[in-house]
Structure 1
């Protein structure tokens, strides 16, 4: 992973923007949408965006002051890049290519716009407003996370693929779910791009991953970052609560 994606709250904060023309105006519109205060080069700020010809000296001056810089069309000079964004407020999906191709990021954004429901933001607010009720129903944080994951998965009470309609009893329905147990994945290839859709979905949902030593790291990287990885020689007898995966190569 070449960069760490982060979401910065810029409301009321100064950001230096230098340049003219459409490239600079596009960045201005983006900063204004984020609530930033746009300032000049001599102002105090932590971030700067530079859209100028012959920008190297300006970038050098800004970096000498400890300012993180985005140099438009110069990824080699960038401390950060600006992603293509799918906005379902408060849900944001950011797509980055490390500055290699803004066109590719834009094309991916257009595909994501079609895939993601326009009501996704309403669903996020529903979950936000119900946080205290969910905590009361599931005092244990691990059980709470599992219940929400069950609700959002295909066929769940908050299935992302279904038209969203608020059900006043959906929190009660969360408590009907049972522990998921252990799922088995036998890999036909060490290439993560050859995972089936079901295997990729299980990797994204699992709480812990039991795996043989020869399972490639590239496969394990497709799992949730917070999922526990446990190397073992055989499937576990007691995998624990939630969803566990046992992964091995298909020749086992």
Structure 2
């Protein structure tokens, strides 16, 4: 993985757009959809915002000077689309100033790339291929679009509104995660996804003891997952869900790194079993570790 996916706060400062034509227009629409403030250097001198509504157009500042000499001191990112050689020169200046820059379809001149985006309000999924194939990224995005519930963003917003209140009542991180798993996966989450937000709020308000609610899921469980021939694409849906829900993953040398990469990023990973050239810890020891972890 060469490019680390990050989410840029576009309220932190203006974004500079350099370019012209439909390519620049497409980037402009994308930026404005994220509520960005845009400073646009139109390389053909035409700042066409006729297709934007008044609110969006008000966030576009027309820049008539030279982007190679303009003051960029408060700029958080620079985008070049349809800018030709000017884009290359702007990119070199941005690099020298330490400003993130993207030149459309030219990774060699860019310090970041644009992913294919799934936008569900507060739920945003970014799919990238390191700039190698935007078409592949779009196809993956289409599959994700088909999988996600229409109101998944509403569910994230619902949880966000309650986040501080629950955090103050549940300072323990692990217990708080259990609480939210029960909320998201249970009837409250189902209410939000079905458009019954008022019912969801009522049910969450009625939880007087969040610790007991979080713990009511029962004791910890141990799930045995078969890794098959080692191809992560052959994992069952249940196996993938178990890996992504697990707090601790025990594995041996027969489990490929690609399979382990499907586990939750913050899950503990414990190697067990026989390793090449070394004796194994024994099945009884493995059983004890599983019981202790559960």
**TM-score, normalized by length of structure 2?**
0.72
Distance 1:74 1:227, change over 3 A: same
Q: Is 1:163 the counterpart of 2:214 in the alignment?
A: no
Cross-structure match for 2:230: 190
Q: Is 1:104 the counterpart of 2:146 in the alignment?
A: no
Residue 238 of structure 1 and its aligned partner are, at CA, apart by 4.4
In 2: Cα distance, 1:220 partner to 1:188 partner: 13
Structure 1 runs of 4+ with >6 Å offset: none
In 1: Cα distance, 2:192 partner to 2:258 partner: 28
Q: Which runs of 5+ in 2 are unaligned?
A: 42-66, 208-212, 274-282
Please, which of 228, 232, 240 is the counterpart of residue 200 of structure 1? 240
Distance 1:241 1:53, change over 3 A: farther
Q: Is the 8 A contact 1:17 1:49 kept in 2?
A: yes
* Counterparts of residues 57-68 of structure 1 (less than 5 Å): 57-68=89-100
Q: Is 1:43 the counterpart of 2:77 in the alignment?
A: no
Structure (1 or 2) with the greater strand fraction: 1
Cross-structure match for 1:74: 106
Q: Is the 8 A contact 2:249 2:268 kept in 1?
A: yes
In 2: Cα distance, 1:66 partner to 1:50 partner: 16
Q: Classify the secondary structure of the residue corresponding to 1:187.
A: coil
Please, which of 202, 205, 219 is the counterpart of residue 259 of structure 2? 219
Distance 1:2 1:191, change over 3 A: same
| Larger Rg belongs to | 2
Q: Which runs of 5+ in 1 are unaligned?
A: 245-252
Alignment root-mean-square deviation, CA: 2.7
What's the CA shift string for 1:171-211, capped at 9, x where partnerless? 74655311332111122212212211111111111111111
Residue 228 of structure 1 and its aligned partner are, at CA, apart by 0.5
Q: Is 1:9 the counterpart of 2:9 in the alignment?
A: yes
Distance 1:140 1:74, change over 3 A: same
Task: Give the number of the structure with larger relative contact order, counting CA–CA contacts within 8 Å between residues 6 or more apart.
Answer: 1
May I ask how many residue pairs the two structures share in their alignment? 242
